[in-house]
Amino acid sequence: MSLLTVDRVTSGYGDMEVLHDVSIEIAAQEIVTIIGPNGAGKSTLMKTIFGLLKPTAGKIRFIDHEITSHSPDQIVRLGMAYVPQVENVFPSLTVRENLEMGAFIRTDDFGDRIKEIFALFPILQKREKQRVGKMSGGERQMVAMGRALMLNPQLILLDEPSAALAPNLAQVIFERIVAVNETGVAILIVEQNAKESLGLSDRGYVLAGGCNRFSDTGENLLANEEIGQLYLGG
């Protein structure tokens, strides 16, 4: 049974339609990557799933809930988390405070969860009391993922987690993504530089011009010559 089902969704900004009848599915504990050129509607799809944009047609289901017209704070309570591409941390707060904010709606003691997240991202423990605004891009990305994990979500949406990172740092982030996935969290990644991401994904979708183009296992998409030439830079 699928965890998230996006069923023929049409969405966009105001009168500007960006996505046309897009459908995707993610099963529990899967890693799924959506690739596609700039302007394909990848970020729009994420924002629509997370309730930041309202679809004009189609349905979105998460676990047992229809979430098509839910607001982000309702969706977060159902066990989905979202890491935007930019401005995904609270810069004037410390690492620990960022994580605490991720647990805002928890009323129980989340000290153990913070320890688990420190185990996934050891650098965060060292920087616990540092303001995030003064940290590097890679560290910020880890803070953002850590914050999103605080509520023990079943699914995390990552919008271009490796964007603006040096290749070796991107490598570290992708390793961490796999480690997060191994704790049982399904992950939906949107990537422009997609080879790395597809390589670690169970499945992938190719989005272009706001429509579904291809979908297959990550491996097969990487092996597909046409996709390689069109979307993966040859």
Partner 1 sequence: MTTLARIPQLLVYGIISGSILSLGGIGVSLTYSILGFSNFAHGDFMALGAYIALGLFTLFTGLGIPNTRFGPLSFGFGFTVAFILAIALTAIAVILIDRLLFRRLRRSGPIILMMSSIGVALGLRNILQFFWSPQPHYYTQMIQRAVSLPALGIRIKPDEVFIIATAIVLVVLVHSFMRYTKMGKAMRAVADNATLAQVTGINTDRVIIWTWVIAAGLAATAGILSGIENKFITPELGWQMLLSIFAGVVLGGIGNPYGAILGGMVIGISEEVSTAFISTGYKPAVAFVIMIIMLLVKPTGLLGRKN
Residues in the site for partner 1, rule: CB under 8 A? 50, 52, 72-73, 76-77, 82, 84, 87-93, 97, 100-102, 104-105, 147, 151
Q: Which two tokens stand for residue 155?
A: 């699914």
Nearer residue to partner 1 within complex by CB, 58 or 84: 84
Nearer residue to partner 1 within complex by CB, 22 or 151: 151
Q: How far is the CB of 133 from partner 1 (least distance, A)?
A: 8
Q: How far is the CB of 149 from partner 1 (least distance, A)?
A: 12
Rounded-to-integer distance, Cα 29 and Cα 186, Å? 4
Q: How far is the CB of 80 from partner 1 (least distance, A)?
A: 10
Nearer residue to partner 1 within complex by CB, 73 or 175: 73
Nearer residue to partner 1 within complex by CB, 102 or 218: 102
Q: How far is the CB of 142 from partner 1 (least distance, A)?
A: 16
Rounded-to-integer distance, Cα 145 and Cα 164, Å? 16
Nearer residue to partner 1 within complex by CB, 31 or 103: 103
Query: Using an 8 Å Cβ cutoff, are 179 and 119 in contact?
Result: no
Query: Using an 8 Å Cβ cutoff, are 207 and 22 in contact?
Result: yes
Q: How far is the CB of 195 from partner 1 (least distance, A)?
A: 28
Q: Which two tokens stand for residue 192?
A: 């422009």
How many residues appear in the chain?
234
Rounded-to-integer distance, Cα 28 and Cα 46, Å? 18
At 194, is the secondary structure helix, strand, or coil?
coil
Q: How far is the CB of 93 from partner 1 (least distance, A)?
A: 6
Can you give the three-state secondary structure of 44-68, one letter per residue?
HHHHHHCCCCCCCEEEEEECCEECC
Rounded-to-integer distance, Cα 51 and Cα 20, Å? 17
| 121: region left, alpha or beta (phi > 0 left; psi from -120 to 50 alpha) | beta
Nearer residue to partner 1 within complex by CB, 63 or 208: 63
Nearer residue to partner 1 within complex by CB, 156 or 227: 156
Q: How far is the CB of 41 from partner 1 (least distance, A)?
A: 19
Query: Using an 8 Å Cβ cutoff, are 121 and 99 in contact?
Result: no
